[in-house]
Amino acid sequence: MSIFGFGKKKKVPEKSITEPSSTDALDQKLTKTRARFRDGLLNFFLGNKPIDETLLEELEDQLIMADVGFDATQEVISTLSKSIARQSVSDAEALNHLLRELLSDILKPCEVPLEIPDTVRPYVILVVGVNGAGKTTTIGKLAKRLKDQNCNVMLAAGDTFRAAAVEQLQSWGARNQIPVVAQHPGADSAAVLYDAFESAKAKNMDVLIADTAGRLHTQSGLMDELKKVKRILGKIDPEAPHEILMVLDGGTGQNALNQAIQFNDALALTGLAITKLDGTAKGGIIFSVAKKLALPIRFIGVGEKVEDLRTFDAIEFVDALFSSPKN
């Protein structure tokens, strides 16, 4: 089963496809990042400047300021520089076109949607990330979408550090008739998730999505706890958790990248969801994340509604950054 493979690459029956036709175009969601890209990049293509090294230096500065990051920027600039030297790019339009293509090329390897193989039941998704990144919200949206695709989903309240976190997950579950396994706040997270996995197995659930804490008394304490959770789930099924999905707040720019590196070192992540791209001008961080981590970007979050969790599409994303404002 392909999750959110809907829209372009759907494999699920039409009736279970829930991305509503009223979904806003992505460029309408990425207005701030788009303004950063357009103001910084496109506008100076209009100025009839000569296509030369000086222009490339300006472009380099703009990409850095748009949070694209050093490595991704260098890659883009060096290819542009070679193309200019070969005279295969001689006007602003060609340069603009090549720039978009190079930016898409950086993201393309990360366009790997989450697939749930029919052979694995329950498929366990462990969701990690710092407090406030959007884990619980992303879980809620994902669970609802899966349920709409006739998938039996169970949620597990593994963020036992904060009482409100358990309640937040329970309320998502109650609203959408999705079962939630929870214990009292302060319970051992690994034990809660172990029990939830056994329960999901006994009830023949298709998917178990496990929430986790984003902060403990110390950061090393958090990493140790998450490693323990991973190990303990592996006792029921050595392949579990089948997906370790890190949720990153795209609005935190460089911090999000640093967190992802740290979590990946500790847990060997298998996918990323980058949230809050609607409210930020720092969406360029996605290029940095793609270049540095080369992990599948499963989803992007562009708002608080269920339909605001989107399957990541590299070309759609870059097109949205360069599209003309509609009003």
**Shortest reach from residue 137's CB to ligand GDP, in Å:** 3
Identify the H or E element spanning 181: strand 180-181
Whether cis (ω within 30° of 0) applies to the bond prior to 50 is no
Whose Cβ is closer to Mg ion: residue 40's or residue 140's? Answer: 140
Q: By the 8 A CB rule, do 94 and 311 touch?
A: no
Distance CA 237, CA 197 (A): 9
User: Of the candidates 165, 192, 260, 320, which one interacts with Mg ion according to CB under 5 A?
Assistant: 165
Whose Cβ is closer to ligand GDP: residue 271's or residue 301's? Answer: 301
Total site size for ligand GDP, rule CB under 6 A: 19
Contact call for residue 298 and ligand GDP (CB under 6 A): no
Classify residue 104 by burial, with Cβ atoms within 10 Å: 0-12, 13-18, 19+: middle
Q: By the 8 A CB rule, do 279 and 303 touch?
A: no
Residue in the block written with tokens 């809050």: 276
Contact call for residue 79 and ligand GDP (CB under 6 A): no
User: Of the candidates 40, 129, 158, 173, which one interacts with ligand GDP according to CB under 6 A?
Assistant: 129
Contact call for residue 138 and Mg ion (CB under 5 A): no
Contact call for residue 132 and ligand GDP (CB under 6 A): yes
Distance CA 171, CA 177 (A): 10
Contact call for residue 136 and ligand GDP (CB under 6 A): yes
Residue 302 contact partner, candidates Mg ion, ligand GDP, none, CB within 5 to 8 A by sort of partner: ligand GDP
User: Of the candidates 125, 153, 207, 302, which one interacts with ligand GDP according to CB under 6 A?
Assistant: 302
Contact call for residue 145 and ligand GDP (CB under 6 A): no
| Sites for ligand GDP among residues 242-261 (CB under 6 A) | 247
- Helix segments in the chain, DSSP class H: 26-29, 31-37, 43-45, 53-65, 70-85, 92-107, 135-148, 163-175, 189-202, 219-236, 254-267, 285-293, 314-322
Contact call for residue 185 and ligand GDP (CB under 6 A): no
Q: By the 8 A CB rule, do 217 and 186 touch?
A: no
Residue 280 contact partner, candidates ligand GDP, Mg ion, none, CB within 5 to 8 A by sort of partner: none
Residues that bind Mg ion (CB under 5 A): 135-136, 165
* Binding residues for ligand GDP (CB under 6 A): 129, 131-137, 214, 247, 275-276, 278-279, 301-304, 308
